[in-house]
A and B are shown apart, each in its own frame.
Chain A
Amino acid sequence: MRGLLSKALAVSAAVLLAACSDSEQTASNAPEKSADKVKAGFIYVGPVSDGGWTYEHNQGRLAVEGAFGDQVETTFVESVSEGPDAERVLSQMANDGADIIFTTSFGFMNPTIKVAEQFPNVKFEHATGFKRADNVAIYSSRFYEGRHVLGLVAGKMTKTNTIGYIASFPIPEVVRGINAAYLAAKSVNPAVQFKVIWVSSWFDPGKEADAAKALIDQGADILMQHTDSPAAMQIAEQRGIYAFGQASDMAAFGPTAQLTAIIDDWAPYYIERVGAMLDGTWQSTDTWGGFNTGMVALAPYGQAVPDDVRQLAEEARVAISEGRLHPFTGPINKQDGSAWLAAGETADDGTLLGMDFYVEGIEGSLPSSN
């Protein structure tokens, strides 16, 4: 169904783009020099109204428009499925004169690389992936830094010692988040246990809600999620337990339930990159920003978080931001008991970007990603 919908959207986007492509043939032909006007395209995996992941990317797009005014024109296609459809939408955008295209989901990685080969003059920016090219930059946020703080709060506040985790797909970004949160929770509460449910979707509010109920029924009193809708937050509110918002402040859905939320702030990055296009200084880069760059932020702590926990969380946040603390600091073993990091050793970015294993102590097995 997504396929058909995005086809329809792609067609309508193409019509719109074609309608306004006359005026700016100069921009796309000379990307090395500074440009008078830049056309930036965005493709989203969900609807801009999801209240989470895609919503924040779209806020970033709007910030770009706000920052550059008439110098920039942005377009977007939402709810693009992560497969061949993405390739078509991307080609269409490139054909219609986009100078830079942001592809904002992990699953757009291969389509981005493929289309980038066909359009060497168009710049691409792929979020959360690991494949680069001369005209493909990659960017992501160190969400795991936020997960560390969430894990501390969860470990301190759980009474049943059971944290429920609603996960989407077993890709490194998600696995990293689970590991970071678990290690942090375990560090303050050795008895803590994580129950993970994979819903195989970024966005299916009904299924996310069902997963939340299942976790609560099995004893979880704090929920974390790595899916895009606020459904789990609502269930937490209904059932009188706590939860963390994902990608965006979800306090509106759980005024009592939300302990805090990881907020993705893409605006500074998008403004910088589109600015580089205007200056003619764009290069293929690999950006991975955390608390220190403002790309990862936390929502205000909820009423329920006691002062000492708040203090602990803030200290960790500041320490991570200043580079004094790394959420993955040894000794850490992998789930099968084999050694990963020696005492005092910190994880290198390469391993983190490709993380495909649970750390020791997490129960259950990681589903295969394909």
Chain B
Amino acid sequence: MDYSLLSSILHAILVASTPLVFAGLGALIQERAGVLNLGVEGLMIVGALAGFATALAGYPLLFSVIAAAFAGASLAAIFALLVLRLYANPVATGLALTLFGLGLSALAGAQYVGQAAPQVSVWTIPLLSQLPVVGHALFSHDPLVYLSILMAALIWWFLKQTRAGLILRAVGENHTSAHSLGFSVMGIRFLAIAAGGALAGIGGSYLTLVQTPLFVEGMTAGRGWIALALVVFASWRPFRVIAGAYLFGSVTILQLHSQAFGISIPAQWLSMLPYLVTIVALVMISARGDKGVAAPGSLGKIFRVSR
């Protein structure tokens, strides 16, 4: 294999994985606060549409990304209202959010179908991009790829090193204790949901801004579900989310390349792989019984203030 092909493959893996990194981090921050939000797919596609519409109107990338984040956060706020204030079942509400997001984006997006967004410019990092193989593969990307990695670092730092992060984790581990210590479980969860929605929205917008600069309904094609699986696979750690996303991205891209080389692995197997790996990861987590990697204690549980 020549090096330019290797470099192109690595480059494509990063591009294919970036939506998963954003959406996975978004799901992670919610789950660390104890919120199970199955609406990631819906949040992503709404972000995809908002980002695309903004780019089409001629605004720069930064505005498109902000619009996508805002759209994702707004839809997530509806989820927060239903689950936190009205005590709706989070699983059913999350599924409904996915359906609602897909339907809403199809309706609002109908007018954008058939148009192409302007291409996003690439930020080539001086010197590093001159390196053989990895130069092109890692250091000549659109800004969002770098942002996704920066975001993982930021979330790691926030959860690990800041007081606010500690409070968020406390709410996720045991909301009753956190409440009795005087923290606002509702408020913190609301912020986590909004932040998660914003990240999912950005992840979705990556699809319509960079990966395929067009909008068609249902174009997230299950990536939201992979993002959810990813968080479990990553045992709720930000950097493992990146690693997992790149692993899943590699599986997709390598499968395509192996076919073009004439080696065929049934594509159905590779589509199943992310979920199989997740199941294996789940089994390993429970078999080890290691508290450090277990799911947040209050994950998916409804919190009611006892009066």
* Chain A interface (Cβ < 8 Å from any Cβ of B): 1-2, 4-5, 8, 47, 49-51, 79, 164, 195-201, 203-211, 213-215, 217-218, 229-231, 234-235, 238, 252-253, 363-365, 367-368
Residues in B neighbouring A231, C-beta threshold 8 A: 212, 214
Contacting pair A229 B256 (CB below 8 A)? no
**Measured CA separation A212–B266 after assembly (Å):** 19
The A-contacting residues of B in range 2-39, CB under 8 angstroms, are: 5, 8-9, 12, 16, 19
Contact indicator A209/B211 (Cβ below 8 Å): yes
A218-B5, A365-B264 as given contacts; A197 in contact with B259, CB under 8 Å: yes
Interface residues of B in 147-187 (CB under 8 A from A): none
B-side binding surface: helix, strand, loop or mixed? helix
Give the residues in chain A near B253, CB-CB below 8 Å: 210, 214
B12 touches A1 (CB 8 A): no
| Chain A CB within 10 Å, residue with most, of B99, B116, B218 | B218
Once bound together, how far apart are the Cα atoms of A205 and B219, in whole Å?
6
Can you list 20 A-B pairs, Cβ within 8 angstroms, ordered by A?
Answer: A1-B41, A4-B99, A49-B106, A49-B109, A49-B216, A197-B259, A200-B267, A204-B219, A204-B221, A205-B219, A206-B223, A207-B256, A209-B211, A210-B211, A211-B256, A217-B9, A218-B261, A235-B212, A364-B262, A365-B264
Interface residues in B97-120 (C-beta closer than 8 Å to A): 98-99, 102-103, 106, 109-110, 113-116, 119
A85 to B12, CA, bound (A): 35
Q: Which 7 A-B pairs have the closest CB atoms?
A: A217-B8, A200-B267, A364-B262, A49-B113, A214-B256, A209-B212, A231-B212
Partner of B252, one of A8, A51, A210: A210
Q: Give CA–CA (A49, B215) in the complex, Å.
A: 10
A253 to B119, CA, bound (A): 12
Chain B contact residue count (CB 8 A cutoff): 46
- Expressed in whole angstroms, the Cα–Cα distance for A365 and B261 within the complex equals 11
Seen from chain B, the residues whose Cβ lies within 8 Å of a Cβ on chain A are 5, 8-9, 12, 16, 19, 41, 95, 98-99, 102-103, 106, 109-110, 113-116, 119, 207, 211-214, 216-219, 221-223, 225, 252-253, 256-257, 259-262, 264, 266-268, 271
CB of B251, distance to nearest CB on chain A (Å): 11
Residues in chain B near residue A203, CB distance under 8 A? 216, 218, 221
Tell me whether A206 and B219 are in contact in the complex, defined as CB-CB below 8 angstroms, given that A1-B41, A214-B256, A214-B257 are known contacts. Answer: yes
What residues on B are CB-neighbors of A235 within 8 Å? Answer: 212
Q: How many Å from the CB of B93 to the closest CB on chain A? A: 14
For residue B109, which residue of chain A has the nearest CB? A49
Which residues of B lie under 8 Å from residue A47 when comparing CB positions?
106, 216-218
Tell me the bound Cα distance from A211 to B225 in angstroms: 21
A194 to chain B, nearest CB (A): 10
Nearest Cβ on chain A to B102's Cβ, whole angstroms: 6
A210-B12 CB under 8 A given contacts A51-B216, A203-B218, A231-B214: yes
| A91: min CB distance to chain B, Å | 22
Indicate if the CB atoms of A214 and B116 lie closer than 8 Å. Answer: no
- State which of B12, B102, B259, B262 has its C-beta within 8 Å of the C-beta of A213: B12
**Chain A proximity of B240: nearest CB distance (Å):** 23
Q: Are A230's CB and B260's CB within 8 A?
A: no
CA A8 to CA B95, docked complex, whole Å? 12
Q: Are A5 and B257 in contact (CB under 8 A)?
A: no
In this complex, the member of A164, A205, A208, A229 whose beta carbon has the largest number of chain B beta carbons within 10 angstroms is: A205
